[in-house]
Chain A
Amino acid sequence: MTEARAPVGWLEAHSENYLDGGPNALLLENLRTDYPISLHGVGLSLGSADGIDHAHLARIADLASRTEPALVSEHVAWCGTAEAFLNDLLPLPWTEEALKPLVENIDAMQTALGRPVLVENPSSYMAFADSAMTEWEFLAVLAERAGCGLLLDVNNVYVSAQNLGFDPRDYLAAVPAERVGEIHLAGHHVNHLEDGDVVLIDDHGSTVADPVWELFAETAARCPNAPVLIEWDTRIPELDVLVAEATKADAVTETARGPEARHAGVA
């Protein structure tokens, strides 16, 4: 990208990869001169009931002040406990008890950054027995209470729907469209387990699957102004393959929005 300056609308970077002072940080400095940047965190653990790591939050805020990103986002998930960082986006029970610390942590993040953030719906492999509401009900209440936006990952909705057994169209129809500030698309892996169980893994390592494109077309019609991103961060392909996916997403958005469509980004 530093040489090709491919014709994509914007770029998204995992915040945690740019918190150092080495060549990576300079790369982001270089790219931000030509592209709007979105900072997408994967380590703040907003779902932690014991609160978040304020030293880490301070580093994220420092990166944001240097990068001046167009968007800042994180996840509706937890990533570890006081004992250890688990390098994962673990699921929450959809309960009032889990909602409260999540709202507090998002508030701490928005306060530190001095701006509203987007939080992304998870890709889930397991559900909690005592969830008192659906995921989409939980997200709607969350956005309202925390005063934040939603990053709607359509692939995650599809993956979770397949893994947990709900209709992705019920979910997408219920998400408050006015809160959606960004859309993610990505590939997933179909994992056949020894016991015959089939689990879809959100691995960002391939092209977007056909059923996800179909769901995206419907989502774009509901949220025509949300910027769209192709996430591809494992088994990274040649740049033109990635750009072709972004171009394909642009075509869908243009159909939904009309001729003045903005261009999709890549990460």
Chain B
Amino acid sequence: MPAWPDLQRALGAAVRAGPGTPLASELASALVDPARFEVHRNHYVITLVEALETTFPVVRRVVGEHFFRQAARVFVRAEPPARPCLFEYGSGLGSFLSTYGPAVELVYLADLARLEWAINETWHATDAVAFQLDELAGLDAEALEALALGLHPRYRLVISPWPVDQIWRANRATDAEPEPVALDAGPARVLVRRTEDEIELAGLGEAEAALLSALGRGADLGEALGAASAVQSETDPGACFLHLAALGAVARREALSPLHTHHYPSSAHPSPDREFQP
């Protein structure tokens, strides 16, 4: 039998190869009943496809169960999860669908998947203190332009040439036939927001979307206001900012701390004072 670390890596690759693929002889001979290995291959594909169905319910409804599962199996093969939290799996499904041959006629599908991923991200986001309008009081023009703000973690901005927000709303209900959506209804600039335990979508103007995108990219407020003016010179960028801040979509960058991540050193030898005591 190969050394255990090598065998483990080879077995992992064999699980990902999918149900029904031949097992290399050195793997088969390491197992008492190699046919039973299929239990793990099936479990891998089935449970990850289920996880994607949970995260992308509207894409699934639009294309149907059979089509979704076929596409999801190909996606799982191409982009297996890297980490153990399945609510964090599927960020690449939108990009995948944009080049997935059988979906090529559904031009909006990739962006619909990106919208559902944005919804998933806001749903799981850790809350942060939103920037309050009264914090503007007393700031001179220079201090205002230098404000370091970002997108609030419970908010996402999704921009698409297709009306993905209308498609999402029309297909969200499970108990009713969806209303038709005109694909030429114009582009969508969707602000996704999680309130306490609900998802809300709101449409933004072009200048507002440009401003929020710029803040999301790390621009200071002065640059972001300039980005808003650049796309719509007739719009007052200050008013755009006030609207976004009033929606709660903006937070000070210093309030956007990532999850506490401490590094714990590992030691090879258990210490005697941590004996298990029932």
Contact = CB atoms under 8 A, between A and B. Distances in A.
B83 A86 contact: no
B209 to A, nearest CB: 25
- Residue of A126, A145, A180, A225 most packed against chain B (CB within 10 A): A126
A55 B49 CA distance: 25
B87 A20 contact: yes
B39 A147 contact: no
A108 B276 contact: no
B256 to A, nearest CB: 12
Interface stretch (A74-82, A210-218, A245-253): A74-82
Given A22-B125, A81-B8, A149 B278 contact: yes
Contacts of A58: 260-264
A179 B277 CA distance: 8
Interface residues of A, number: 76
A51 B11 CA distance: 16
Interface stretch (B28-36, B90-98, B218-226, B245-253): B28-36
Interface string B10-25: 0111011000000000
B44 A195 contact: no
Interface stretch (A97-105, A167-175, A236-244, A258-266): A97-105
A84 interface: yes
A59 B261 contact: yes
B80 A147 contact: no
B1 A130 contact: yes
Contact of B81 (A49, A85, A107): A85
Contacts of B70: none
Contacts of A48: 8
Contact of B125 (A19, A20, A84, A199): A20
A125 B40 contact: yes
Interface of A: 16-17, 19-24, 42-45, 48-51, 53-59, 61-62, 78-81, 83-88, 90, 93, 95, 97-98, 101, 103-108, 110-112, 115-116, 125-130, 143, 145-149, 163-164, 178-181, 195, 197, 199, 201, 225-226
